[in-house]
Amino acid sequence: MAGASSEKETDVPDPVARYSQSSLQDELVEEEEKIAAAQLRKDNDDEIRPVDDGAESGEDGEKRRRPQLNLVKSYATGTSAVSAASEREKPEQKPWYKQPNPLRWGKIPPVPEERKVSPEYKAGFFNLLFFQWMGPLMQTGYKRPLEFNDIYSVNPNRAVDPLTEKMKESFQRRVANGDKYPLLWAMHETFFKEFWLGGLFQLSSSILQVMSPFTLRYLIQFSTDAYIASSEGLPAPHIGAGIGLVLGVTAMQILQSLGTNHFIYRGMLIGGMNRASLISLIYEKSMVISGRAKAGGAELPDIPAAKVVEKESEKKGKGKGGEKGAPEGQAGVAGDGTGWGNGRVVNLMSVDTYRVDQACGLFHIIWTAPIACIITLAMLLINLTYSALAGFALLVIGMPVLTRAIKSLFARRKGINKITDQRVSLTQEILQSVRFVKFFGWESSFIKRLDEFRAREISAIQVLLAIRNAIMAVSLSLPIFASMLSFITYSLSNHNLAPAQVFSSLALFNGLRMPLNMLPLVIGQVTDAWSSISRIQEFLLAEEREDEAVLKPDAPNAVEMHNASFTWERTPTQDSEATVGNVGPKPKSASGTKEKKRPSSPADSAGESSTLVEEREPFKLQDLNLEIGRNELVAVIGTVGSGKSSLLAALAGDMRKTSGEVILGASRAFCPQYAWIQNTTVKENIMFGKEMNKEWYSDVIKACALQPDLDMLPNHDLTEIGERGITISGGQKQRLNIARAIYFDADIVLMDDPLSAVDAHVGRHIFDNAILGLLKDKCRILATHQLWVLSRCDRIIWMEGGKIQAIDTFDNLMKNSEGFQQLMETTAVEEKKDSAAVTQVPGDEEPAKKKKKGKGLMQSEERAVASVPWSVYTSYVRASGTILNAPIVLGLLVLSQGSNIMTSLWLSYWTSDKFGFNMGTYIGVYAGLGAVQALLMFAFMVSLSIFGTRASKAMLRHAVSRVLRAPMSFFDTTPLGRITNRFSRDVDVMDNNLTDAMRMYFFSIGSIIAVFALIIAFFHYFAIALVPLFLLFLFATSYYRSSAREVKRFEAVLRSNVFAKFGEGLSGVACIRAYDLKDRFIADLRKSIDEMDSAYYLTYSNQRWLSVRLDMIGNALVFTTGILVVTSRFSVSPSIGGLVLSYILSIVQMIQFTVRQLAEVENGMNAVERLQYYGTKLEEEAPLKTIEVRKSWPEKGEIIFDNVEMRYRAGLPLVLQGLSMHVRGGERIGIVGRTGAGKSSIMSTLFRLVELSGGHITIDGLNISTIGLQDLRSRLAIIPQDPTLFRGTVRSNLDPFGEHTDLELWSALRQADLVPSDASPQTAAAPSSSSGDEITPVNNTAVATRDPGRIHLDSIVEEDGLNFSLGQRQLMALARALVRGSQIIVCDEATSSVDMETDDKIQATIANGFRGKTLLCIAHRLRTIIGYDRICVMDKGRIAEMDTPLNLWKMEGGIFRGMCDRSGIRMEDIRGAREEMEMRDDGRRELE
């Protein structure tokens, strides 16, 4: 079974749809947003005040203002996305006579001070039996919204601590005994009693479920005898017998309902407890798993061999599930080369434990359902003799066939998931670069691409749903056809159809529906869970790390190493992080920590690893010998990649020791280069689990220069830091990191380049006050690039290539070592360069501090509080095509239900021979009605799912186009995750789950109404019983839903809490281990698991509370019907009585199912509401088209800024204040100024990403605010700061609309120097071009050999263009602007992130390619623009100076002159640059 399920691991059976990793993350995002929204609402009661982020918020917060009225308008209101998230009012206390609902009488319960333990813990027998212990909570929830303190804390018998310990102990014992499936049996042992108790309940209720229809036979027989007696005047049987039978049937029903409810409750709880214990075990394991197991590495360093080993172990592993984890000492390889990266572990914790949880719920059905079927068959044989076998045979043949058909759906679902993933990732790509899409006016092109994906996806989904509906229709009709077959056979074999046998059998056949439908579902869940258990077990058996160092508290030195060698693990079979993003000058730890240890994004699938990283030998440290005293300060230096970080990591216990010994004389604290910050308060981050010591704490804060930062934070040191430290700047993170290491007060402090991320003066402060101050009596080991610290260290360890070159004092090394002197000189030069580059931009600390207060920038998500309004339902129906679709679907439903009732009525006419037809007529009509009913049911289902998918397609399309038309301010104030969540998770719900839920809901409501109508038609008094029961039913459900909704919400919030803690712990394992705080973190996680479970378990007891009560109503209906049949036994034909009784029994199960489905439909409609909100309520930018603009505009490219004022959102200060500037056609203008001076804002106004607050801009005489955005943006070209490439080909990136010929595209590539100047489309399209390697052009072989990775128009571009180097991406952006051929080019300093050579290429292209065009260039490096015609110096949103470079240089004391002096630019440089420009221009002229 494990084999079969391994390939469909990812496909949970369809009713559970796909709870894939992505949707899980979406769900988390969604929950986090809900929490954020709630938080915001708490903070500022009803209004969300606009936040003043000062001019700093540059591009961060653009919001449109109203331009003058004659221009095209586009508004945004600050409350737009918030309005719906208004506060829920607290219910006010009304006197009882004003309150029509007696349940709301009495006073509103206060919120308890602290949480109570779950009453279940001490509840008595009847309380437990009927779930009455939930009463107080339900009552509170009905009178007012529940608060966190209302939620009972977890029942101590179900807490995670004792259970996990028990499971762990059992698991370890079984592993030691060499059991075959240790984890499975450990789970079984832990929950043995409760598990089998549930099994017992289910078994008894299955038997009762079969017996009650069988008892009907005697009841019907009783009324038949009475009917015949009255019609023939014989003495009737005593009424007591009938009433006794009715009581018996009702009692059976009651017991059966209690049995089922307790079975489900036990099952679900065991699932939840299992999940809790497994999460805890996985977390504990992830703290101790060895690096080798994590990387999935074999012992063998040479990679191919390792691959073979993996293949072998994979075969073994998949075949035998649990065997390969044998004893731990062996250097086992994890089952596949992927190892156990963090992503996989999180997957185990989220998806796999969830599957185990799901499967526990209904597990016992696997063996009780077959037993129920066998007993049913026996009863049918008693009723119908051998004729029953005919119908049963049909079921036995039909079920496996259906199961096969369901299997075929899995393959289709896989295909659909692929398309969906493509659509979602394209959506994400567009949203991430939405500013860019707007700059180029490419919205429609992308919407078209999305539509193509969507059309394919929807048609595939429609086929899938149609097949699934056919399966459902057949499986629902199977019992009907089976009973038909049996009855026809029965009557043909010369029996008379007696009502007693027939209707009792009909009820039995109907009773088979449930077990037969559940069985495939449960088997699917169990096989999924089995593969999950195997995976979790494999992880729990992975190799653990031993701490490499020996602790000797009495050793003379703090640290000693003797001939020690260490190694990192090989990179997991995936692309390594360091090579993708960090092209910058800091691959230092890349050579060590990061790359070898972490599997990063699974980019492998796209083949990135091939273009980027060849498999590398892991980095090793060899033969280290050193001794460090107990109060020494030792610096570790060396070039990039020499092993500095690795040495510290080895001391922190993060590298695997291969030989030698390490002795530590004391406890250690570790300060890694990448600060690991927890999502909690600043104070908690610094204390890191230590007790509070006021004095020491304030000393530490002063020493780390954190005081000023704390003063700026809203809640001082109780301010919460976002996850991964996102709310604070890099420098602040690093200082927190240092503060933590100091506060921990360990005797060995390892610091990995902690001063690199902070400003120079702060670095000196920390070095003097912390490293030389507070820590002066400790052993300090400091890896560093900062040379000024070396002379103040006691000794220096100089690393080179993983070996120690020398250990000595600074003076000795300077005296004796050539190499060291050289090292000092080269780094000195580097430092100079660095500091020169930094002069223009203020230190990294500043922007972050300013933004501190802007916490409210992100808008809270609008979220529905009450139920979904009707308008959403109508717009959903409209989206499916026309409003007439609803009546069509309902009509089909009515017809199919009608034919269903007709079929059974006909059966009752036949048994009582009402019309006196011959046998053949009765049989023919009966079979015909059955077939019609199946067809109508299929038609109803298919029409519903086709209209549903159509609606979801239309609504997604509206939402996407509306979102792309939203102003930039919307994207600045909405987290990306929230938008993508709507386009992935919500759309997924609409595509796959919503129509299902609707179908089941309508279907069950239809059946219930049909049956009630049938009963009332014959027994009029039933209506009287129905009214109060119906009211009770309505009331119970609303009573239930008011508290269930809140409990569910808490569960979601608390669950995302567990996920966040888990993920955080995983990413900080190195830190946690170095500080040796595993136990504290494990306890912490367990606490939050218990919190989650407290709400999670309540959701189940909540459901059971309702079920027990609804079943009571159902059983009351059965009782009423029984009594009516008995009392009217003389007047109503027994055939009708039998029919009614058999139906009412099948209805009882349906009642509570309906309530559950209603909730499902509401959840689904929530998704519709959220998408509809995006499709109709978002504000829009100005229209794309307004007036006709002449084709050739702009001809000259003359731009006039006339007194332009601009602010990003209403209520924020002006960013541009009265800017006036006249740019002549074809002029080259350089724009300079410090950060926040308004340079980029000029660009935003030109492209109308933000509308002006005052003044206007004209281009060649046209006021740009009067023309459509599409016209404006498509006539300008821009080279943005970060070159964005989209997945596709080079061609689709240069020209997404296909407006240009290949020759034009080639010439652009050539001008941008992406292809050699003599390459032409023909040569590049040589046959072998697909490999991109040895292209042998017709004329010039040298070129091809020089440039193996030749770029051509059909070269693939991967996501974000990561398969091109940064330089190539910049050049591609340049080529894009060249293709546009626009008269005006805006260039936002594209060279800030490329090397000198590329920079020169770009400058040359800009000079040549854009000659004669108007060029606005925002520069960060002065040298690039000193040859331009004029330079505009911006300051605080105004133009400070504007003139030719030479004139500006001559202004003593001017801003520009100051900049030149700092960058060392002289007058000659400016003249030279100018001449070079002119020469290039002349050269071009001659060429032309």
pLDDT in tens, 270-279: 999 999 999 9
Residue 1479 has pLDDT above 90, yes or no: no
Please give the helix or strand (H or E) that residue 1259 lies within, else none: strand 1254-1259
Q: Out of 262-276, 760-774, 897-911, 1455-1469, give the one with best mean pLDDT.
A: 262-276
Sign of the Cα torsion 470, 473, 479, 480 reads: negative
Least confident window among 77-81, 954-958, 1081-1085: 77-81
Strand-by-strand arrangement of the 803-808 sheet: 668-671, 748-752, 779-783, 633-637, 795-800, 803-808
Terminal-to-terminal C-alpha distance of the chain: 74
- What DSSP letter does each residue of 1077-1130 carry, written as one string? -HHHHHHHHHHHHHHHHHHHHHHHHHHHHHHHHHHHHHHHHHHHHHHHHHHTTT
Model-wide pTM > 0.85: no
Higher-confidence position of 854 and 1130 = 1130
Please give the helix or strand (H or E) that residue 1430 lies within, else none: strand 1430-1435
Do residues 75 and 64 touch, judged by C-beta distance below 8 A? yes
* Residue 1442, beta-bridge partner list: 1432
Do residues 213 and 511 touch, judged by C-beta distance below 8 A? yes
State the pairing for strand pair 1228-1232/1254-1259: unpaired
Instruction: Please report, for the chain, how many H helices and E strands are present, in that order.
Output: 51, 22
Preceding amide of 1194 cis, omega within 30: yes
Exposed/middle/buried for residue 501 (C-beta within 10 Å: 0-12, 13-18, 19+): buried
Q: How far apart are CA 1019 and CA 1122, in angstroms?
A: 11
Residue 853 is predicted with a pLDDT of: 37
Residue 344 is predicted with a pLDDT of: 84
Residue 887 is predicted with a pLDDT of: 94
Helices 1022-1067/21-43 angle, 10° precision: 100
Q: How far apart are CA 1421 and CA 838, in angstroms?
A: 11
Residue 935 is predicted with a pLDDT of: 93
Do residues 1009 and 1151 touch, judged by C-beta distance below 8 A? no
Residue 343 has pLDDT above 60, yes or no: yes
**Percentage of the chain surpassing pLDDT 90?**
23
Least confident window among 310-324, 677-691, 1272-1286: 310-324
Q: How far apart are CA 983 and CA 5, in angstroms?
A: 30
* Mean pLDDT of the region 267-294: 92
| Residue 131 Ramachandran class (φ > 0 left, ψ -120 to 50 alpha, else beta) | left
Residue 85 has pLDDT above 90, yes or no: no
Residue 1064 is predicted with a pLDDT of: 84
Per-residue pLDDT reduced to its tens digit, 415-429: 888 898 889 888 888
Per-residue pLDDT reduced to its tens digit, 351-375: 899 999 989 988 999 999 999 989 9
Q: How many CA atoms lie within 13 A of 459 on its CB side?
A: 5
Per-residue pLDDT reduced to its tens digit, 458-489: 999 999 999 988 888 888 788 888 888 898 89
* Residue 985, beta-bridge partner list: none
Residue 1213 is predicted with a pLDDT of: 83
* Mean pLDDT of the region 4-8: 35
State the pairing for strand pair 633-637/795-800: parallel
Residue 1132 has pLDDT above 50, yes or no: yes
What letter does residue 1132 receive in the DSSP assignment? S
* Residue 681, beta-bridge partner list: 720
* Mean pLDDT of the region 1144-1159: 82
Residue 280's pLDDT band (cuts 50, 70, 90): very high
Residue 1258 has pLDDT above 80, yes or no: yes
Residue 1321 is predicted with a pLDDT of: 59
Q: Shortest CA distance to 1362 belongs to which of 574, 612, 595, 422?
A: 612
Higher-confidence position of 400 and 79 = 400
